[in-house]
Copies of this chain bind each other. A is one copy, B any other.
Amino acid sequence: MARGFVTAEEVAKRAGVSRSAVSRTFTPGASVSQAVRRKVLKAARELGYRVNRLAQGLNNDRSNLIGVVGANLSTPFHAKQLDLLSIGLLRRGLQCLLLNAADARKDIAPLIELLFEFRAQAIIVLSGDPPESIVDQCIANGVRLILINQKIDRTDTSMVLSDDSRGADLAALRLIEARCKKVAVISSGSQTPAQVRRTTAFKQKMATAGVEVVAWSGGTTSYESGYQAGCELLVDEAIDGAFCVTDLLALGFLDAARTEMHRRVPADLSVVGFDDIPQAGWKSYELTTVAQSFSALTERVLEALEADEMETRLQVVPVAMVERKTARR
Protein backbone atom coordinates (compact mmCIF):
# COMPACT_ATOMS: atom_id res chain seq x y z
CA MET A 1 0.00 0.00 0.00
CA ALA A 2 1.29 3.42 -0.91
CA ARG A 3 2.20 5.91 1.74
CA GLY A 4 -0.40 8.50 2.64
CA PHE A 5 -4.13 8.47 3.01
CA VAL A 6 -6.78 7.10 0.72
CA THR A 7 -8.97 9.64 -1.05
CA ALA A 8 -12.63 9.50 -2.01
CA GLU A 9 -11.51 9.35 -5.64
CA GLU A 10 -9.77 6.03 -5.11
CA VAL A 11 -12.71 4.60 -3.24
CA ALA A 12 -15.00 5.66 -6.08
CA LYS A 13 -12.78 3.96 -8.65
CA ARG A 14 -12.69 0.73 -6.72
CA ALA A 15 -16.44 0.75 -6.09
CA GLY A 16 -17.12 1.60 -9.72
CA VAL A 17 -19.11 4.72 -8.95
CA SER A 18 -18.59 8.46 -9.09
CA ARG A 19 -16.80 10.39 -6.42
CA SER A 20 -20.05 12.14 -5.60
CA ALA A 21 -21.54 8.83 -4.56
CA VAL A 22 -18.74 8.33 -2.07
CA SER A 23 -19.21 11.77 -0.63
CA ARG A 24 -22.93 11.21 -0.32
CA THR A 25 -22.47 7.88 1.38
CA PHE A 26 -20.63 9.62 4.20
CA THR A 27 -22.96 12.59 4.34
CA PRO A 28 -25.97 11.92 6.55
CA GLY A 29 -29.22 12.70 4.79
CA ALA A 30 -27.84 12.62 1.28
CA SER A 31 -29.57 10.67 -1.43
CA VAL A 32 -27.90 7.34 -2.21
CA SER A 33 -29.36 3.99 -3.09
CA GLN A 34 -28.74 1.05 -0.80
CA ALA A 35 -26.85 -0.79 -3.53
CA VAL A 36 -24.38 2.01 -4.14
CA ARG A 37 -23.99 2.70 -0.46
CA ARG A 38 -23.04 -0.90 0.18
CA LYS A 39 -20.50 -0.96 -2.62
CA VAL A 40 -18.94 2.26 -1.38
CA LEU A 41 -18.77 1.13 2.23
CA LYS A 42 -17.17 -2.11 1.17
CA ALA A 43 -14.53 -0.39 -0.91
CA ALA A 44 -13.92 2.17 1.81
CA ARG A 45 -13.42 -0.51 4.40
CA GLU A 46 -11.03 -2.45 2.21
CA LEU A 47 -8.97 0.61 1.45
CA GLY A 48 -9.12 2.10 4.92
CA TYR A 49 -10.70 5.32 3.79
CA ARG A 50 -11.14 8.25 6.20
CA VAL A 51 -12.84 11.48 5.34
CA ASN A 52 -10.35 14.32 5.28
CA ARG A 53 -11.66 16.80 7.81
CA LEU A 54 -9.28 19.48 6.68
CA ALA A 55 -10.77 19.44 3.22
CA GLN A 56 -14.20 19.20 4.73
CA GLY A 57 -13.58 22.22 6.90
CA LEU A 58 -12.10 24.14 4.02
CA ASN A 59 -15.18 23.49 1.99
CA ASN A 60 -18.01 24.30 4.34
CA ASP A 61 -15.95 26.52 6.57
CA ARG A 62 -16.69 24.61 9.78
CA SER A 63 -13.43 23.30 11.16
CA ASN A 64 -15.02 21.61 14.17
CA LEU A 65 -12.02 22.77 16.13
CA ILE A 66 -12.40 24.48 19.46
CA GLY A 67 -9.34 26.30 20.71
CA VAL A 68 -8.51 25.96 24.38
CA VAL A 69 -5.82 28.18 25.77
CA GLY A 70 -4.54 28.16 29.31
CA ALA A 71 -1.51 27.97 31.52
CA ASN A 72 -0.31 25.94 34.49
CA LEU A 73 -2.28 22.96 33.34
CA SER A 74 -0.81 20.66 35.97
CA THR A 75 -2.38 22.67 38.74
CA PRO A 76 -5.16 20.51 40.23
CA PHE A 77 -7.74 23.16 39.52
CA HIS A 78 -6.90 23.65 35.88
CA ALA A 79 -6.27 19.96 35.33
CA LYS A 80 -9.70 19.09 36.62
CA GLN A 81 -11.26 21.77 34.50
CA LEU A 82 -9.44 20.71 31.37
CA ASP A 83 -10.35 17.12 32.03
CA LEU A 84 -14.07 17.80 32.18
CA LEU A 85 -13.93 20.25 29.32
CA SER A 86 -12.14 17.96 26.93
CA ILE A 87 -14.56 15.15 27.69
CA GLY A 88 -17.53 17.43 27.17
CA LEU A 89 -16.21 18.72 23.87
CA LEU A 90 -15.55 15.27 22.54
CA ARG A 91 -19.00 14.13 23.58
CA ARG A 92 -20.49 16.89 21.47
CA GLY A 93 -18.44 16.04 18.44
CA LEU A 94 -16.04 18.91 18.82
CA GLN A 95 -12.28 18.69 18.77
CA CYS A 96 -10.06 20.33 21.30
CA LEU A 97 -7.01 22.19 20.06
CA LEU A 98 -4.99 22.76 23.20
CA LEU A 99 -2.48 25.57 23.50
CA ASN A 100 -0.55 25.78 26.72
CA ALA A 101 0.84 29.23 27.39
CA ALA A 102 3.80 28.00 29.43
CA ASP A 103 3.51 30.49 32.25
CA ALA A 104 3.58 34.12 31.23
CA ARG A 105 0.19 35.78 31.16
CA LYS A 106 0.96 37.80 28.09
CA ASP A 107 1.72 34.80 25.98
CA ILE A 108 -1.87 34.10 25.21
CA ALA A 109 -2.34 36.76 22.54
CA PRO A 110 -0.13 35.05 19.93
CA LEU A 111 -1.74 31.74 20.80
CA ILE A 112 -5.17 33.04 20.01
CA GLU A 113 -3.89 34.43 16.74
CA LEU A 114 -2.57 30.98 15.98
CA LEU A 115 -6.02 29.58 16.59
CA PHE A 116 -7.37 32.00 14.00
CA GLU A 117 -5.12 30.35 11.47
CA PHE A 118 -6.72 27.01 12.23
CA ARG A 119 -10.13 28.61 11.83
CA ALA A 120 -11.17 27.56 15.30
CA GLN A 121 -14.91 27.94 15.67
CA ALA A 122 -14.62 29.14 19.21
CA ILE A 123 -11.92 29.89 21.71
CA ILE A 124 -12.09 29.01 25.37
CA VAL A 125 -9.70 30.82 27.67
CA LEU A 126 -8.97 28.96 30.89
CA SER A 127 -6.68 31.55 32.39
CA GLY A 128 -5.06 34.81 31.53
CA ASP A 129 -6.89 37.72 30.04
CA PRO A 130 -6.80 38.46 26.32
CA PRO A 131 -5.98 42.03 25.28
CA GLU A 132 -8.72 44.21 23.90
CA SER A 133 -7.43 43.96 20.35
CA ILE A 134 -7.72 40.19 20.37
CA VAL A 135 -11.31 40.34 21.50
CA ASP A 136 -12.02 42.71 18.63
CA GLN A 137 -10.48 40.33 16.15
CA CYS A 138 -12.58 37.50 17.49
CA ILE A 139 -15.86 39.24 16.89
CA ALA A 140 -14.64 40.57 13.55
CA ASN A 141 -13.91 37.04 12.39
CA GLY A 142 -17.03 35.55 13.91
CA VAL A 143 -15.13 33.45 16.41
CA ARG A 144 -16.93 32.96 19.68
CA LEU A 145 -14.82 33.77 22.70
CA ILE A 146 -15.51 32.26 26.08
CA LEU A 147 -13.67 33.29 29.20
CA ILE A 148 -13.63 31.18 32.34
CA ASN A 149 -13.34 32.90 35.70
CA GLN A 150 -12.33 36.02 33.90
CA LYS A 151 -14.45 39.11 33.70
CA ILE A 152 -13.84 41.89 31.23
CA ASP A 153 -15.93 44.91 30.57
CA ARG A 154 -17.54 43.97 27.27
CA THR A 155 -20.95 42.86 26.22
CA ASP A 156 -19.87 40.89 23.15
CA THR A 157 -18.04 38.11 24.94
CA SER A 158 -19.27 35.10 26.89
CA MET A 159 -17.99 34.82 30.41
CA VAL A 160 -18.53 31.96 32.80
CA LEU A 161 -17.38 32.51 36.32
CA SER A 162 -17.89 31.30 39.84
CA ASP A 163 -19.49 33.66 42.27
CA ASP A 164 -16.24 34.84 43.79
CA SER A 165 -17.58 37.61 45.96
CA ARG A 166 -20.31 35.39 47.34
CA GLY A 167 -17.70 32.76 48.05
CA ALA A 168 -15.48 35.25 49.79
CA ASP A 169 -18.45 36.34 51.87
CA LEU A 170 -19.09 32.76 52.89
CA ALA A 171 -15.49 32.38 53.90
CA ALA A 172 -15.64 35.59 55.90
CA LEU A 173 -18.82 34.56 57.65
CA ARG A 174 -17.32 31.22 58.50
CA LEU A 175 -14.26 32.78 60.09
CA ILE A 176 -16.43 35.19 62.00
CA GLU A 177 -18.47 32.24 63.21
CA ALA A 178 -15.20 30.70 64.36
CA ARG A 179 -14.76 33.82 66.52
CA CYS A 180 -11.50 34.86 64.86
CA LYS A 181 -10.05 38.13 66.07
CA LYS A 182 -7.34 38.69 63.53
CA VAL A 183 -7.34 37.02 60.14
CA ALA A 184 -4.99 36.80 57.20
CA VAL A 185 -6.02 36.73 53.55
CA ILE A 186 -3.51 34.99 51.31
CA SER A 187 -3.26 35.31 47.55
CA SER A 188 -0.54 34.74 45.01
CA GLY A 189 1.59 37.43 43.46
CA SER A 190 0.09 36.84 40.04
CA GLN A 191 -3.07 38.67 41.10
CA THR A 192 -5.48 37.11 38.71
CA PRO A 193 -8.82 38.90 38.50
CA ALA A 194 -10.53 36.03 40.31
CA GLN A 195 -8.08 36.25 43.18
CA VAL A 196 -8.47 39.99 43.36
CA ARG A 197 -12.25 39.71 43.51
CA ARG A 198 -12.05 37.19 46.34
CA THR A 199 -9.54 39.22 48.27
CA THR A 200 -11.37 42.51 48.09
CA ALA A 201 -14.77 41.00 48.84
CA PHE A 202 -13.31 39.24 51.84
CA LYS A 203 -11.63 42.38 53.16
CA GLN A 204 -14.79 44.35 52.77
CA LYS A 205 -16.95 41.84 54.59
CA MET A 206 -14.45 41.64 57.40
CA ALA A 207 -14.21 45.38 57.63
CA THR A 208 -17.92 45.74 58.15
CA ALA A 209 -17.70 43.05 60.81
CA GLY A 210 -14.87 44.91 62.50
CA VAL A 211 -12.35 42.10 62.26
CA GLU A 212 -8.75 42.98 61.68
CA VAL A 213 -7.33 41.73 58.39
CA VAL A 214 -3.75 41.41 57.22
CA ALA A 215 -3.17 40.71 53.54
CA TRP A 216 -0.32 38.63 52.19
CA SER A 217 0.47 37.99 48.58
CA GLY A 218 3.47 36.69 46.73
CA GLY A 219 4.90 33.94 44.60
CA THR A 220 2.92 31.82 42.18
CA THR A 221 -0.39 30.16 42.88
CA SER A 222 1.17 27.11 44.44
CA TYR A 223 1.55 24.99 47.51
CA GLU A 224 4.95 26.51 48.07
CA SER A 225 3.63 30.05 48.17
CA GLY A 226 1.04 29.03 50.74
CA TYR A 227 3.74 27.43 52.82
CA GLN A 228 5.84 30.54 52.64
CA ALA A 229 2.88 32.68 53.59
CA GLY A 230 2.30 30.53 56.63
CA CYS A 231 5.91 30.79 57.76
CA GLU A 232 5.95 34.55 57.36
CA LEU A 233 2.52 35.40 58.73
CA LEU A 234 2.33 33.11 61.71
CA VAL A 235 5.20 34.68 63.57
CA ASP A 236 2.38 36.98 64.57
CA GLU A 237 0.77 34.95 67.31
CA ALA A 238 -2.39 37.00 67.24
CA ILE A 239 -3.49 35.62 63.91
CA ASP A 240 -6.16 33.01 64.54
CA GLY A 241 -7.79 32.75 61.14
CA ALA A 242 -6.88 32.66 57.46
CA PHE A 243 -8.62 32.75 54.13
CA CYS A 244 -6.54 31.39 51.29
CA VAL A 245 -8.05 32.38 47.98
CA THR A 246 -6.97 29.06 46.49
CA ASP A 247 -6.95 25.57 47.94
CA LEU A 248 -3.41 25.01 46.81
CA LEU A 249 -2.31 27.99 48.85
CA ALA A 250 -4.41 26.76 51.76
CA LEU A 251 -2.80 23.33 51.81
CA GLY A 252 0.67 24.84 51.87
CA PHE A 253 -0.43 27.27 54.54
CA LEU A 254 -1.87 24.46 56.63
CA ASP A 255 1.31 22.45 56.46
CA ALA A 256 3.37 25.46 57.47
CA ALA A 257 1.02 26.17 60.34
CA ARG A 258 1.16 22.65 61.72
CA THR A 259 4.68 21.57 60.92
CA GLU A 260 6.74 24.69 61.06
CA MET A 261 4.77 27.11 63.23
CA HIS A 262 3.28 24.58 65.64
CA ARG A 263 -0.33 25.66 65.47
CA ARG A 264 -3.21 23.35 66.22
CA VAL A 265 -5.91 23.51 63.58
CA PRO A 266 -8.68 24.38 64.18
CA ALA A 267 -8.10 24.95 67.89
CA ASP A 268 -5.56 27.76 67.53
CA LEU A 269 -6.16 28.64 63.92
CA SER A 270 -9.07 28.38 61.49
CA VAL A 271 -8.33 28.04 57.80
CA VAL A 272 -10.71 28.34 54.86
CA GLY A 273 -9.81 27.73 51.24
CA PHE A 274 -11.41 28.20 47.84
CA ASP A 275 -11.92 25.78 44.91
CA ASP A 276 -12.41 22.39 46.54
CA ILE A 277 -9.77 20.54 44.60
CA PRO A 278 -9.58 16.78 45.22
CA GLN A 279 -6.63 17.13 47.58
CA ALA A 280 -8.67 19.31 49.92
CA GLY A 281 -10.62 16.23 50.94
CA TRP A 282 -7.59 14.11 51.72
CA LYS A 283 -7.39 12.91 55.30
CA SER A 284 -4.23 14.83 56.10
CA TYR A 285 -5.98 18.09 55.36
CA GLU A 286 -9.77 17.88 55.42
CA LEU A 287 -9.89 21.50 54.43
CA THR A 288 -12.98 23.57 54.98
CA THR A 289 -13.39 25.39 51.72
CA VAL A 290 -15.63 27.17 49.26
CA ALA A 291 -16.41 24.80 46.42
CA GLN A 292 -16.56 25.80 42.80
CA SER A 293 -18.71 23.46 40.82
CA PHE A 294 -16.44 22.15 38.10
CA SER A 295 -19.26 20.37 36.39
CA ALA A 296 -21.53 23.41 36.43
CA LEU A 297 -18.74 25.60 35.07
CA THR A 298 -18.01 23.32 32.14
CA GLU A 299 -21.71 22.80 31.55
CA ARG A 300 -22.21 26.54 31.17
CA VAL A 301 -19.21 26.78 28.90
CA LEU A 302 -20.53 24.09 26.62
CA GLU A 303 -23.91 25.77 26.54
CA ALA A 304 -22.33 29.07 25.61
CA LEU A 305 -20.54 27.21 22.84
CA GLU A 306 -23.69 25.84 21.32
CA ALA A 307 -26.03 28.75 21.85
CA ASP A 308 -27.19 30.10 18.50
CA GLU A 309 -26.89 33.63 19.63
CA MET A 310 -24.92 34.79 22.58
CA GLU A 311 -28.07 35.69 24.44
CA THR A 312 -26.56 35.44 27.87
CA ARG A 313 -23.09 36.89 28.04
CA LEU A 314 -22.42 36.51 31.71
CA GLN A 315 -23.03 33.27 33.56
CA VAL A 316 -22.37 33.29 37.29
CA VAL A 317 -22.11 29.84 38.79
CA PRO A 318 -23.06 29.50 42.46
CA VAL A 319 -20.54 28.34 45.03
CA ALA A 320 -21.07 26.39 48.22
CA MET A 321 -19.33 26.04 51.53
CA VAL A 322 -18.07 22.57 52.23
CA GLU A 323 -17.57 22.00 55.88
CA ARG A 324 -14.65 19.85 56.92
CA LYS A 325 -12.27 20.19 59.82
CA THR A 326 -10.04 23.24 59.52
CA ALA A 327 -12.44 25.84 60.87
CA ARG A 328 -13.53 25.98 64.46
CA ARG A 329 -17.15 25.42 65.27
A binding-site residues for B, Cβ under 8 Å = 1, 3-5, 48, 50-55, 57-58, 61, 63, 65, 68, 72-76, 79-80, 82-84, 86-87, 90, 95-100, 102, 111, 113-114, 116-119, 137, 140-142, 223, 227, 251-252, 254-256, 258-260, 278-279, 282-285
Contact = CB atoms under 8 A, between A and B. Distances in A.
Given A50-B116, A90-B102, 17 more contacts: A5-B141, A50-B113, A51-B117, A52-B117, A53-B117, A65-B97, A73-B83, A75-B79, A76-B76, A86-B98, A96-B100, A97-B97, A223-B278, A251-B282, A254-B284, A255-B284, A284-B284
A118 B53 CA distance: 5
A141 B52 CA distance: 13
B48 A52 contact: no
Contacts of A285: 284
A61 B5 CA distance: 10
A95 to B, nearest CB: 6
B99 A86 contact: yes
A113 B45 CA distance: 13
Contacts of A100: 83, 86-87, 90, 96
A279 B255 CA distance: 12
A115 to B, nearest CB: 9
A118 B54 contact: yes
Contacts of A118: 53-54, 95
Contacts of A137: 48
A5 B143 CA distance: 10
A197 B74 CA distance: 26
A5 B116 CA distance: 9
Contact of A74 (B65, B80, B96): B80
Contacts of A63: 54
Contacts of A61: 4
Contacts of A259: 283-284
